[in-house]
Amino acid sequence: MSTARGFLGEGDVLFDVWDDDTQTWWNSWKPMGESSKFAIGAQSELKEKESRGRGTRGQLIASVALLKSPEIEVVLDEVNADNIKLAFMGTLASLTQGSGSIADQVITAKLGHWIPLGKRNFATAAFTVKSSDGVTTYALGTDYEVNYRLGMVRPLATGTIADAASLKVSGTYNAVSGSTVKGATKAQLRCRLLLDGRNLVDGSDAECEVFEAILAPEGEFDFKAEDFGSITLKGKLVTPVGKTSPFEVRFPELT
C-alpha cells in the first residue's frame, strides 16, 4: 500500500456513453484527450431541530446529516468534434461532398455580399462568372472575388456587375470530408467515467470509476477566446441498479 503523505495527480479520462437510439451503453472506454480537471464532491444535507421550550429556545436538540447525490466536474482541454458535441449537447454526423462541377449555375448579384454556390472547395482553374446571356466574362479581382474554400462569390461595387444582375457561374469542385455537430439536440449526457490516474508523489496508481453520471455543459464555449478553449461538464452521480455506491476510488498494487 502506498505510504505517500501527499497527493499530486495526473491521469487520463475515459467515457462510456449511453446511446439514446440503441438504448445501450458502448460497453467500451473512449479516451477524451487532454483533461485538466476531474473533481468529485461528496454532498450531505444537515437537518437540525431546535428547541422552542421555555428558556431553551434556539438550542439544538437533534441533528442528522443526510447524504445527497455527489457532484462531478470534468474539464476537457482537447477541442475536437467529439468533445464539441458534448459542449453543445449535440449529435455528430459526417460532412461529405463528392467531387464534381457546376455549369452556368445562375445566381443573383448583390454587390458587396458573398453568395453561396451550394458546393465548397472549388478549383481555381477554369472558374468563370459570366453575364446571363453568356456574352460577357467578368474579371476576377476587378468585378468579383471568390472564396474557393467556402464556395462563395462576391460581386464588387467597384466593378461592372450591376446590383441584382443575373449571373452564370461555372467551375469544378473537389471532394470534402469531415464532421458536423448538430447543436442542441440532446438535453443531457448520460455516461460512465473512468480516471486512469497516478500519484506523482510516489508513482502509485489511483483510479476513480463513476458508475453513472448525468452531465451537462457549464457556461459557453468561446470560439474567439483570448486563451486556449476548454469544455467544462458538470452534473450529478447516480447509483445504478446492481451497485451500492455511485462511484469508487481504487489504489491497485500490481504484483
Rounded Cα distance, 127 and 102, in Å? 10
Q: Model's pTM, two decimal places?
A: 0.86
pLDDT at 120 over 70: yes
* Overall size of the chain counted in residues: 255
Take residue 185 and report the three cell numbers written for it. Answer: 439536440
Q: What is the dihedral of CA 29, 16, 77, 185, to 10 degrees?
A: 140
Take residue 119 and report the three cell numbers written for it. Answer: 458546393
**C-beta atoms surrounding 49 within 10 Å:** 10
| pLDDT tens-digit map of 79-105 | 999 999 999 999 999 999 999 999 999
Name all domains of the chain by residue range, CATH numbers in brackets: 9-93+181-250 (2.30.110), 99-174 (no CATH)
- Work out the pLDDT band at 223, boundaries 50, 70, 90: very high
Q: Order of strands across the sheet with 166-173?
A: 100-108, 166-173, 128-131
For the chain, what is the mean pLDDT? 96
- Quote the pLDDT of residue 2: 77
Percent of the chain with pLDDT over 90: 95
- Quote the pLDDT of residue 1: 66
Q: Which residues sit opposite 128 in a β-bridge? A: 170
